[in-house]
Amino acid sequence: MKKRRFAALFAVIAVFGALALSGCGSSLQEPSTQKSSSGDLLSQIQERGEIIIAMEGTWAPWTYHDENDELVGYDVEVGRAIAQKLGVKASFVEGEWDGLLAGLSAGRYDIMVNGVDIDPQRQEAYDFSIPYAYNRTAVITSGGNNDIQSLEDLRDKNTANTISSTYAETAESYGAEVTGVDDLNQTFELLLSGRIDATLNAEVTYYDYMKAHPDANLKIAVLTEEANQIGIPMRKGEETAALREAIDNALSELAEDGTLSELSVKYFSSDISQAS
C-alpha cells in the first residue's frame, strides 16, 4: 500500500513539474514572436537593421546576375546606397514581376527597386519616392518588320511582356494582344522566333541586349519622345511616411553628389538619372 501511495505521489509531482516547465517555456519564447510595437516602417527597418528590397534579378542592366551568378545592376547598387544612407543592410528578394507588387502590398518587402514607372494607376495603390531615373519606351521589332512605325500600328498585333507591367498596359491600350511572359529573355525568344510582332521595353534595355547579342536581328521601330519617371514604390499609408521622406532625402543626396550619374553611366553608358 505504501509503495502505491508513494508512486501516486510521485506521479502528481511529475505532472505539476511538467506543467511548470511548459509554462516557463512559453513565457521565454513569447518575446521572439512579438512584432515591433512601432507602426512606423522606418523605425521597424532600423530596429531590425535591414531593409528588404524586392526585384526581379532578370532584367539587365537594371537587376541581373553576372557571369559569377552575383546579383548586380543599377537598381542593386541604388538599393545598397539607399540602405547605407539609412544605416542598415540591404537584403534583396528576387521574384517574378507579377508577384513583386502584390508582395509589397502584403508586407513581405519594404520597398521595390526594379525600374518601376510612376503612373497614375500605381500611385492609387502605392506611395512613390521622387524619380531616380528617366526612361523612354521603345517598341522593338525584328529588323525586317516595316509594319510598325507608330504606337497606333500596334493594333491587332501580337506583343509580349509581363502582364502587370506598364509596357503591357501601353500595348493593350493601343489594341495589341499581349502574351504574358516571366522575364525579358522569354520576350526576346518569342520575338526572334517570329511568334510575336513586337515587344515594348525600356530603350536602355534594348541597347544592353544588343551589346550582349550584336547579331540579333532586332531594331527599335518606335521610340516615345517623353521619358517615363522611375521611382521606388512602397506601401501606401502613414506608416510609410517617414520611410518615404528618408528615401527621398537619400536619393536627393545621391543625385547631388553624382552617385546616381556615375552608376547610370556604368550600367547604361549614358546618364538616365536626370530628365533630358
- Residue whose C-alpha cell reads 510598325 in the numeric block: 148
Query: In sequence order, what E strands does 153-240 have?
Result: 158-161, 177-180, 199-202, 218-223, 228-231, 233-235
3-state secondary structure (DSSP) of residue 155: coil
pLDDT bracket for residue 4 (50, 70, 90): very low
What are the C-alpha distances in Å from 159 to residues 94, 149, 155, 156, 176? 25, 15, 10, 10, 7
pLDDT of 275: 85
Kindly state the cell numbers that stand for 199. 515587344
Q: Which domains does the chain have, with CATH numbers?
A: 41-134+230-268 (3.40.190.10), 137-223 (3.40.190.10)
Element counts in the chain: helices (H) and strands (E):
10, 15
Is the pLDDT score of 161 beyond 50?
yes
Q: Does residue 59 have a pLDDT over 90?
A: yes
Phi, psi of 144 (to 5 degrees): -95, 5
What pLDDT sits at residue 7?
41
- Entry pTM: 0.78
- How far from 66 is each of 61, 159, 204, CA to CA, in Å? 10, 28, 18
pLDDT of residue 79: 98
pLDDT digits (tens, 9 = 90+) for 190-209: 999 999 999 999 999 999 99
Q: Is omega for the bond preceding 61 within 30 degrees of 0, making it cis?
A: yes
Give the mean model confidence (pLDDT) for residues 210-237.
95
Q: CB–CB of 178/168 below 8 Å?
A: yes
